[in-house]
């Protein structure tokens, strides 16, 4: 009598037949952890339905067949088993279609797949009804969407709605790309940015400008004010940006406010002691802590100055520098008259910062 293979041995055979010699290879491809695969093949852990759905595409068998192999249909009549198998296969086809849509609207980022700024804006708008219906929020990343879908365990109708939402995003993204391809010599110059429409929507355009040769830029905006004065960025300069979600420490980033219609703002992106700060290149402006009121939309890649620096710009910089120096000079003179050393001032600063941090933690 032929011995029946265990669930673990069946999965091992399917893995090898699909071309994955090791559990690690399948883990990298499918996103299912190697520990989970090891426990399944060792018959220590029964695979969950969501795990089977994720593996079906890579093991090249239907979701229903994996459910049968894992023993989920044991005790059913053949007729009922066939009905249930069709049901699970419908789920599997929808899940695969959703995954393909996610891949289509993704791009290769610095570390993994991510969404462009315009796709994030589209998803935010198009998913509003879905989020309200299911009372959920999720990160607008490929991983964030996959996570929420796994956690919700959606029925077929909800998956159909979600797929329709992703297809709308895909169609609008294609339309934006087509528009950009038809006029690839120009990029939009953003003026006042509305929080309720995608960033590069024409509602946010002020004008268009020629795409500078040799610089990869997605959009531009004019600098307003003198908060980046000491970085050489003057009021009215045309700043060129590349869309970016994860800037490097020290890069100049474009920021928009999410609570009102405002111009794009410029700041340095600073990561320090577990905090993310937005810093001006002008000591007159205080650091801003990055929170839910602000959104980074791009990094600076270039600058166009349409008129030469004026005498006013030079005198303004001298005046600002003089005021800052004067304040520091008075402070140093006062400390010297009181016999306070630079080391003592440094110790006092560190003591006050430590006290402030401790008070914040207690709150």
Does residue 111 or residue 223 have the better pLDDT?
A: 223
* Whether 110 and 163 share a structural domain: yes
* Whether 222 and 300 share a structural domain: yes
Alpha-carbon gap, residue 156 to 68, rounded angstroms: 20
Give pLDDT, residue 53. 77
Structural domain contains residue 86: no
* Whether 223 and 295 share a structural domain: yes
Give pLDDT, residue 42. 92
Confidence of residue 39 (pLDDT cuts 50, 70, 90): very high
Instruction: Evaluate if residue 70 carries a pLDDT over 60.
Output: yes
Structural domain contains residue 82: no
Confidence of residue 16 (pLDDT cuts 50, 70, 90): very high
Confidence of residue 321 (pLDDT cuts 50, 70, 90): low
What DSSP designation does 359 have? H
* Whether 62 and 124 share a structural domain: no
Q: How many other CB atoms sit within 10 Å of the CB of residue 348?
A: 11
Q: What is the mean pLDDT of the chain?
A: 79
Does residue 129 or residue 90 have the better pLDDT?
A: 129
Q: Is 298 exposed, middle or buried (0-12, 13-18, 19+ CB in 10 A)?
A: buried
Domain-ending residue, one of 140, 164, 182: 182
CATH code of the domain covering residue 227? 2.10.109.10
Structural domain contains residue 2: yes
* Whether 117 and 170 share a structural domain: yes
Does residue 317 or residue 50 have the better pLDDT?
A: 50
Domains: count for the chain = 4
Alpha-carbon gap, residue 192 to 262, rounded angstroms: 5
Does residue 186 or residue 34 have the better pLDDT?
A: 34
Percentage of residues of the chain with pLDDT beyond 70: 81
In the three-class reduction of DSSP (H, G, I as helix; E, B as strand; rest coil), residue 354 is classed as: helix
pLDDT tens for residues 139-179? 888 888 888 877 776 777 788 888 888 889 888 888 776 66
CA distances from 204 to 86, 169, 174, 193, 194 (A): 47, 19, 19, 5, 7
Give pLDDT, residue 320. 61
Does residue 361 or residue 173 have the better pLDDT?
A: 173
Structural domain contains residue 99: no
pLDDT tens for residues 236-267? 888 999 887 778 888 999 888 888 888 888 99
Structural domain contains residue 81: no
Structural domain contains residue 137: yes
Alpha-carbon gap, residue 115 to 83, rounded angstroms: 38
* Whether 350 and 261 share a structural domain: no
Asked if residue 195 lies in contact with residue 259, where contact means CB atoms within 8 angstroms, the answer is yes
Give pLDDT, residue 182. 54
- Please compute the mean of the pLDDT values over residues 298-306 and round it to a whole number: 86
* Whether 286 and 240 share a structural domain: yes
Confidence of residue 1 (pLDDT cuts 50, 70, 90): very low
* Radius of gyration over every alpha carbon of the chain, rounded to an integer in angstroms: 28
* Whether 168 and 239 share a structural domain: no
Q: How many other CB atoms sit within 10 Å of the CB of residue 271?
A: 13
Structural domain contains residue 98: no
* Whether 175 and 194 share a structural domain: no
Confidence of residue 2 (pLDDT cuts 50, 70, 90): very low
pTM over 0.75: no
* Whether 269 and 239 share a structural domain: yes
Give pLDDT, residue 329. 62
Domain-ending residue, one of 125, 147, 182: 182
Q: Tokens for 50? A: 């969501």
Q: Tokens for 328? A: 């520091």
Domain-ending residue, one of 34, 56, 74: 74
Instruction: Evaluate if residue 219 carries a pLDDT over 80.
Output: yes
Q: Are strands 186-190 and 219-222 parallel, antiparallel or unpaired?
A: parallel
* Whether 69 and 36 share a structural domain: yes
* Whether 334 and 279 share a structural domain: no
Structural domain contains residue 79: no
Alpha-carbon gap, residue 229 to 237, rounded angstroms: 11
Determine the structural domain holding residue 355 and report its residue range. Answer: 323-362
């Amino acid at each position: 009598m032929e011995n029946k293979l265990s669930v673990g041995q069946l999965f091992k055979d399917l893995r090898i037949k699909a071309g994955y010699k090791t559990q690690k290879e399948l883990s990298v491809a499918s996103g299912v952890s190697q520990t989970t695969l090891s426990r399944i093949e060792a018959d220590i852990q029964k695979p969950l339905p969501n795990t089977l759905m994720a593996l079906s595409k890579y093991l090249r068998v239907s979701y229903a067949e994996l459910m049968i192999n894992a023993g989920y249909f044991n005790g059913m009549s053949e007729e009922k088993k066939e009905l249930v198998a069709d049901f699970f296969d419908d789920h599997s086809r929808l899940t695969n279609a959703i995954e393909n849509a996610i891949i289509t609207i993704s791009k290769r980022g610095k570390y993994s797949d991510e969404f462009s700024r315009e796709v994030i804006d589209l998803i935010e708008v198009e998913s509003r009804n879905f989020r309200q219906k299911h009372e959920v929020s999720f990160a607008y990343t490929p991983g964030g969407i996959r996570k929420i879908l796994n956690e919700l365990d959606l029925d077929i109708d909800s998956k159909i709605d979600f797929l329709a939402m992703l297809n709308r995003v895909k169609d609008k993204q294609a339309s934006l790309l087509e528009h950009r391809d038809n006029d690839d010599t120009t990029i939009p110059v953003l003026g006042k940015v509305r929080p309720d429409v995608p960033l590069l929507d024409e509602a946010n355009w002020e004008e268009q400008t020629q795409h500078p040769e040799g610089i990869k830029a997605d959009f531009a905006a004019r600098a307003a004010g003198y908060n980046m004065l000491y970085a050489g960025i003057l009021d009215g300069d045309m700043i060129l940006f590349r869309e970016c979600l994860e800037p490097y420490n020290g890069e100049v980033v474009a920021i928009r406010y999410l609570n009102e219609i405002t111009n794009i703002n410029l700041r340095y992106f600073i990561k320090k002691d577990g905090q993310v700060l937005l810093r001006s290149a002008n000591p007159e402006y205080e650091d801003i802590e990055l929170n839910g009121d602000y959104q980074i939309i791009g990094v600076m890649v270039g600058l166009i100055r349409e008129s030469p620096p004026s005498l006013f710009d030079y005198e303004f910089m001298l005046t600002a520098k003089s005021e800052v120096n004067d304040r520091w000079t008075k402070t140093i003179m006062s400390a010297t008259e009181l016999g306070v050393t630079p080391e003592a001032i440094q110790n006092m600063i560190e003591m006050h910062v430590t006290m402030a941090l401790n008070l914040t933690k207690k709150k």
